[in-house]
Amino acid sequence: MLKKLPVNLNRDLALQSLLRDEAFTIRALNELPVNLFPTVFTVAFKGWHRKLLRAMVQAWPIPELHMGLHLVDPRSYQDSLWTVLHSLDALPARGVQTRKSRLRVFDFRRDPDLIEPNYSFEDAVDSPFLYSAWMEPEVPKTKVRQRRSLRKKPSQDWQPLDLYINISLDTWYRNTLVSCILRKVQHSCRPLRLFCGKLHIRNVVFSQTVEILDLVQLEFIQELDVSDCFGLFSGESQFARQVEQMKNLRNLTLPQPIFETTAVHRLPPSDAFNSFLSRLSSLGRLQMLRLSSPHLSDHLHRLLRYLSDALVTLELPACALLIRDICWLSQSPQASHLKKLDLSKNDLSQMVPGVLEALLREASGFLQELVLDYCSLRDPHLVGLLPALRCCFLLYSLSLSGNRIATSILENLLQLVAELSELKLVVCPYPVECYDYPKSRELGQIQERWSSSIEAMVQDMLWALGQESLEWTFTSETSF
């Protein structure tokens, strides 16, 4: 008596039979059930069946094709990816009559927020491709931006196609997949709209950054990071005008140097800088801003005036902030809503006691993460901050790296841990007693026997306080 073969094995055998005769399968696409398309496409993609891939894209029966999980290791299927991309505006092969494609969304994201599926694919449960009912992209109720294009005149009446991808140009994609997509958007004879929710551009010439942004639907960007982009602002920057159009922007990271200076001392704000700040007023949904510029020294109020009240994360490292700047920040509408505050690499030693305490008290209702690394703080300053820190009852993370402290201050910090039940992470430097030359600016090397003793002491005290789950990290410095 013959055993009944498992359903999956029957399906696999049928697929292998189909793919042995690729030409026949292409001709049979009109008769292929819609619920088999994902499975056949997956097998064809992994098997590098280029002609079949091209035909299937041109006959895709539903509005959306999601390929995000293939980007876990896109190099393994690089040829298949290129074939699919080139098929987006390719005409069907001669003599091949296929059904009209309904494809309107091509999604490269690994974890898109898809709505509930409206299609049944019982035979495709093992497929890595996800599908959802078609809907228009969630962009503001403004006309989709018309961008410049180098595309040739279309040879037929193409329907627009939307490409979704989160771009990071400091990864392997830099010269491969993303570059190919950008060229495709720029030169395709089919109207292609590029939607990027997250756009990270690092170590790229600034002029190229502007060119990339010119290809993207700016209204759709929610997270922009242009760290370490080489170039300068001058005059009415095109980049500033592009940022102004990002109405849905939530997170913006603009580390130094992007303006016309690489210095860390006080500088008068340039016209380009003031112009850029004024553009931020259009970002009504901005929740996170990281900006490092000496132009802010004694001029922080210019920035605060344009920021949204919805801001919950403010990072201002190495801005040479003065007492007046911290005073303006403590009196701003944003202060009482901040969940994260980073003032690293600003000299705050003259602000305790005084305006820094006032700022922490103002932010105490929501503050969860505080970063005061390399702020020239010493024991008296930290002792003076403790009453204000105790008011931050939601504080989850406290970082004090790069400040010069003694062993005695650790007891004060541990007492703070006992009073703040939400505190789960503390980062602080090893006490100066752990170094060769504790009284010198150049501390020398850390003494392992002293550092180990300090670590053990802190762990014992955390156990005694019932805070053994708290992560306490020490950092070492050679000089301050």
User: Is the pLDDT reported for residue 262 higher than 50?
Assistant: no
User: Is the pLDDT reported for residue 233 higher than 70?
Assistant: no
Write down the pLDDT at residue 479: 45
Q: Return the DSSP state at 196.
A: -
> Of residues 153 and 17, which shows the higher confidence score?
17
Average pLDDT score over residue span 41-60: 85
Write down the pLDDT at residue 101: 81
Q: How far apart (Å, rounded) are the C-alpha atoms in residues 287 and 463?
A: 37
Q: How confident is the model at residue 62 (pLDDT cuts 50, 70, 90)?
A: confident
Q: How confident is the model at residue 172 (pLDDT cuts 50, 70, 90)?
A: very low
- Ordered by start, the domain boundaries in the chain are 8-124, 196-309
> Of residues 277 and 223, which shows the higher confidence score?
223
| Residues, the chain | 480
Q: Residue 33 corresponds to which tokens in the numbers above?
A: 């059930």
Q: Return the DSSP state at 102.
A: -
User: Is the pLDDT reported for residue 209 higher than 80?
Assistant: yes
Mind giving me the DSSP string for 361-392? HHHTTT--EEE-TTS---HHHHHHHHHHHHT-
User: Is the pLDDT reported for residue 232 higher than 70?
Assistant: no
Q: Name the amino acid, one letter, at 143.
A: K
Q: How far apart (Å, rounded) are the C-alpha atoms in residues 147 and 219?
A: 13
Distance of CA 35 to the CA centre of its chain: 35
Q: 389-430 pLDDT, tens per residue?
A: 999 999 999 999 999 888 889 989 998 988 999 999 999 999
Name the pTM for this structure. 0.80
Q: Name the amino acid, one letter, at 253.
A: T
Lowest mean pLDDT across 6-20, 23-37, 67-81, 416-430: 6-20
With H, G, I as helix, E, B as strand and everything else as coil, classify residue 223. strand
In this structure, how many other beta carbons lie within 10 angstroms of the beta carbon of residue 377? 24
Neighbouring residues of 53: CB distance < 8 A, sequence distance ≥ 6: 41, 44, 45, 80, 83, 84, 87
Average pLDDT score over residue span 143-149: 50
Lowest mean pLDDT across 2-11, 24-33, 139-148, 182-191: 2-11
Lowest mean pLDDT across 168-172, 208-212, 364-368: 168-172
Q: 111-140 pLDDT, tens per residue?
A: 655 433 333 333 333 333 333 322 333 444
With H, G, I as helix, E, B as strand and everything else as coil, classify residue 449. helix
Q: CA nearest 296: which of 255, 252, 340, 357?
A: 255
Write down the pLDDT at residue 268: 54
Mean pLDDT of the chain: 79
Mind giving me the DSSP string for 326-361? HHHHHTSTTGGG-SEEE-TTS--GGGTTTHHHHHHH
Q: How far apart (Å, rounded) are the C-alpha atoms in residues 328 and 320?
A: 14
Q: How far apart (Å, rounded) are the C-alpha atoms in residues 179 and 185?
A: 10
Q: CA nearest 270: which of 228, 239, 243, 237?
A: 237
